[in-house]
Amino acid sequence: MNEKDEDFFIELGERIARARRARGMTQQQLADVLGIAQQTLAHYEVGRSRVPASLLPALVELLMLTFEDLLCRPSARQAGKGRSASRLQLQIAAIEQLPKIKQQFVSQMLDTVLAQARR
């Protein structure tokens, strides 16, 4: 692995670990949901092993991130956005990754809550 690739996977692992901790998850909990060993996740988080592309969609959904937040360096993200995403924006991004039927269910729930709040 060349130095540029090593740096990318170290930074990716740091973003995964940071997001996992922010969600209050242990390595074991996240590894169980992903269907991998805890030690494998630990290797991803320190950049010792490459995260397979096939795990990226699950990581985005479970950690409530966008692909951009997961894969890009902070300076690259902030140049385009000006600030980091709010919790609500992260939730919306996670909802967008759900199947359409589940998106409709969430939308109906939100409609109900918003209608009650207007009363």
Please report the pLDDT score of residue 73 as a whole number. 67
Q: Is the pLDDT of residue 119 over 80?
A: yes
Question: To the nearest whole number, what is the mean pLDDT of the chain?
Answer: 85
The two tokens of residue 87 are: 């919790």
Give residue-wise pLDDT tens across range 1-56.
788 889 999 999 999 999 999 888 899 999 999 999 999 999 999 999 999 999 99
Amino acid at 74: P
The CATH number assigned to the domain holding 40 equals 1.10.260.40
- Number of domains making up the chain: 1
Q: Is the pLDDT of residue 89 over 50?
A: yes
Exposed, middle or buried: residue 72 (CB in 10 Å: 0-12, 13-18, 19+)?
middle
Residue ranges making up the domain that contains 54: 3-118
